[in-house]
Amino acid sequence: MKAVIVTGSREANALARVLPKAVCVDGSDLTAFSGASTVIDASHPCERETHDAVQAVCARDNIPLLRLRRPEWSAVAGDRWVQVDSAQAARRALDQTAKRVFLCLSASDRAAFRGDEARWYLVRSRKDDRAREGLAQFDLTTQSGPYTAQSETALMRAHGIDTLITRNAGGAGAYPKIAAANALGLPVILLNRPCVTCPTASSVEEATAWLAAL
């Protein structure tokens, strides 16, 4: 059996340790699926384009496909969430009083906020590349984790943030910014995860059980 793991998440790394003979790909090289007997897409839980491409290849070649993604976040007392299905909808959901926005989205999703001259954005990005953003008013924060609720609260206070926009990534690593927004009483515009039509698993254990059942 040739199992292929599409990487891009902590779960993908954990699954690769459990399945050392599996082939790991980043989703951009779909030729690696040749001869695959199964594919487990463990890319980022909110990744849409990669999953759509993987699903198309698996459907074409009749390869069993599983989507592995950790459980999403659920609102707790104090959360002020507006849940939307796209970056374009997130921009439309911005309140007129929102003036300083913490933007924690992928580069492709951030493009939806270009041309907005009414607001200033703090952009979280892994790359210190101001030229590619195309936003009217913004600054970058490239600081990597681990994050804490305290550090995220301090960051938002320092920049006068009044709104957070992010994806429902789930997991503990990215949650501190949600906790910080809650502590500061800030609204959060939360992008829902894209729907999938293939079988899903929420843990490495569920994924290996799926493989064993094939």
Q: What is the mean pLDDT of residues 197-202?
A: 97
33 with 50, same domain? yes
Asked if residue 173 has pLDDT above 90, the reply is yes
Mean residue pLDDT across the chain: 94
Q: What is the mean pLDDT of residues 106-119?
A: 94
pLDDT band at 38 (very low <50, low <70, confident <90, very high): very high
CATH number of the CATH domain containing 166: 3.40.50.20
The structure tokens listed for 187 are 């609204």
165 with 202, same domain? no
153 with 117, same domain? yes
53 with 141, same domain? no
29 with 50, same domain? yes
The structure tokens listed for 33 are 């699926």
204 with 177, same domain? no
60 with 84, same domain? no
Asked if residue 207 has pLDDT above 90, the reply is yes
pLDDT band at 127 (very low <50, low <70, confident <90, very high): confident
184 with 91, same domain? yes
Q: How many separate domains does the chain show?
A: 2
103 with 174, same domain? yes
What pLDDT is attached to residue 131? 77
The pTM assigned to this predicted structure is 0.92
154 with 207, same domain? no
187 with 202, same domain? no
pLDDT band at 93 (very low <50, low <70, confident <90, very high): very high
pLDDT band at 81 (very low <50, low <70, confident <90, very high): very high
What pLDDT is attached to residue 21? 94
Q: What is the mean pLDDT of residues 106-114?
A: 94
Q: What is the mean pLDDT of residues 183-194?
A: 97
- DSSP structure string for the chain: --EEEE-SSHHHHHHHHH-TTSEEE-SS-GGGGTT-SEEEE-S-TT--HHHHHHHHHHHHHT--EEEE-PPPP---TT-EEEEESSHHHHHHH--TT--EEEEE--HHHHGGGTT--S-EEEEE-SS--GGGT--SSEEEE---S---HHHHHHHHHHTT--EEEEE---SSSSTHHHHHHHHHT-EEEEEPPPP--S-EESSHHHHHHHHHH-
CA distance 69 to 203: 7
What pLDDT is attached to residue 1? 73
- The domain of 66 spans 3-71+195-213
What pLDDT is attached to residue 57? 92
164 with 139, same domain? yes
